[in-house]
Amino acid sequence: MIYRTLRRLLPRVVLSLLLSAATGCSVVHEAATWNTPGSGSSGSGSGVGAGYGASGGASPSPSPLPPVYNVKPLINPAHKYLGLEIPDAPGTIAPAQQFASWTGKKPNLLGAYVGWNTGLDTQAVKNAWSYGALYFQVWEPYGVTMQSIEAGKSDDYVNHFAAAVRTLNLPVALSFGHEMNGDWYPWGTKDTSAADFVAAWRHIHDLFGKAGATNVIWIWDPNDVYPVPNVKLAPLYPGDKYVDWVGVTGYWTVDGPHTYSSLFLPTLLDIRQFTEKPFIIAETSVQAGANQVASVDALFNAVKTHDDILGFVWYDYNRQGDWRLENRPGVQAQFKADAASSKFGFDVSTAR
């Protein structure tokens, strides 16, 4: 994110001031993780398992279930994902529809940040699906350690969540503990070892498997390596058995990386040393400035010209910096022109 880029660009004194102002959080992290631990996602939190806490909650009533939804066509689709994170979606679909009116293309991957001990927002999943989009949950394990997850202390919560996913039987994309290669999250390198992160990931994945919830696309999402070049990614990787997509977070900046070769390529080359899993830009936007229009074009070109990049998720928020495109006519026009490519966008509900 932008803070991780700034920390390499600003003097140490200025950085300390930024850290004080941000109270230890990155600029975009402050914007993206507005849910407090245990709070709901951007939707209403309604549905099976919603609002479930680790110490209680009723199990879904057992009943015959249809065959589990096959997510394989969505893991390697014929067209590119045009994803979106925007306030209130997909709890309500109106913001996604508004975005589509600005860009001329419907987003088909709708993201929401969700705290630990929060239940599955079934209405948000249904809203996204009815719109022709895949629900993408960025699962943030605040208030819990990786060691406790590995030890089974969150099993009740995870089992209920997995059961809700299986019962709903619609595809869900899950990114657990994103940007784990940075030191700005509790599950990051400052407080969590690579071994504990991997063990927690595998344990959660195994619980979903036992629940029959194979209708999940698992996204392992490190930050781009630019601000943390000395952190090795391989030890943090759970393994191909536990991951469907590699998703990388990276922001196009004015004074830092603003080309594909400087922003994403180093991370991709590192990742390709240990896995060939499909790659998706799981969170991105462009910083306002002289190169903002060129950066949008570079983003689309990178995704369009690389077969192993599945698409990207655009962060459209005005939080600790204005990342929206709708108030930047040049950015919006370039986005619309590039999104018009037939390679971008498809109705996920028809992918078979």
Half-sphere exposure of 86 (CA within 13 A, CB side): 24
Question: Which of 112, 195, 95 shows the shortest CA–CA distance to 150?
Answer: 195
Type and span of the H or E element at 25: none
In this prediction, residue 183 carries a pLDDT of 97
Residue 102 has pLDDT above 80, yes or no: yes
At a CB cut-off of 8 Å and minimum separation 6, what does 129 contact? Answer: 135, 170, 171, 348, 349
Q: Is 297 left (phi over 0), alpha (psi -120 to 50) or beta?
A: alpha
Task: With cut-offs at 50, 70 and 90, classify the pLDDT of residue 276.
Answer: very high
Distance, in Å, from the CA atom of 301 to the CA atom of 57, rounded to the nearest integer, reads 47
In this prediction, residue 144 carries a pLDDT of 98
| 146: its two tokens | 């990786």
Residue 39 has pLDDT above 60, yes or no: no
In this prediction, residue 11 carries a pLDDT of 37
Any idea which fold 2-52+68-342 has?
Answer: TIM Barrel (3.20.20)
In this prediction, residue 2 carries a pLDDT of 46
Residue 339 has pLDDT above 80, yes or no: yes
Residue 41 has pLDDT above 70, yes or no: no
Ranges 51-65, 111-125, 196-210, 219-233: which has the least confidence: 51-65
Residue 49 has pLDDT above 50, yes or no: no
Residue 223 has pLDDT above 50, yes or no: yes
Separation in Å, CA 73 to CA 45, 76, 99, 206, 282: 28, 6, 26, 22, 19
Residue 311 has pLDDT above 90, yes or no: yes
Ranges 3-17, 251-265, 301-315: which has the least confidence: 3-17
Residue 32 has pLDDT above 90, yes or no: no
First to last CA, the chain: 34
Residue 48 has pLDDT above 90, yes or no: no
Residue 90 CA from chain centroid, whole number: 14
Distance, in Å, from the CA atom of 270 to the CA atom of 194, rounded to the nearest integer, reads 16
In this prediction, residue 64 carries a pLDDT of 82
Question: What would the pLDDT profile of 130-178 be if each residue is shown by its tens digit?
Answer: 999 999 999 999 999 999 999 999 999 999 999 999 999 999 999 999 9
Task: With cut-offs at 50, 70 and 90, classify the pLDDT of residue 28.
Answer: very low
In this prediction, residue 62 carries a pLDDT of 61
Average pLDDT, the chain: 87
In this prediction, residue 72 carries a pLDDT of 96
In this prediction, residue 320 carries a pLDDT of 76
Task: Note whether 163 and 60 are within 8 A (CB).
Answer: yes
Residue 240 has pLDDT above 60, yes or no: yes
In this prediction, residue 141 carries a pLDDT of 98
| 10: its two tokens | 């600003």
Cα dihedral sign, 332-335-339-344: negative
How do the domains of the chain map onto residue ranges?
2-52+68-342
Looking at 224-275, list the stretches that DSSP marks H as alpha helix, in order from N- to C-terminal side: 260-263, 265-271
Phi, psi of 198 (to 5 degrees): -65, -40
In this prediction, residue 63 carries a pLDDT of 63
In this prediction, residue 319 carries a pLDDT of 85
Residue 30 has pLDDT above 60, yes or no: no
In this structure, the strands spanning 245-249 and 279-284 are parallel
In this prediction, residue 60 carries a pLDDT of 57
Distance, in Å, from the CA atom of 42 to the CA atom of 248, rounded to the nearest integer, reads 22
Residue 36 has pLDDT above 80, yes or no: no
Output Rg (C-alpha) for the chain, integer angstroms: 19
In this prediction, residue 303 carries a pLDDT of 97
Distance, in Å, from the CA atom of 347 to the CA atom of 69, rounded to the nearest integer, reads 16
Distance, in Å, from the CA atom of 64 to the CA atom of 61, rounded to the nearest integer, reads 10
- Residue found by looking up tokens 């595998």 in the block: 202
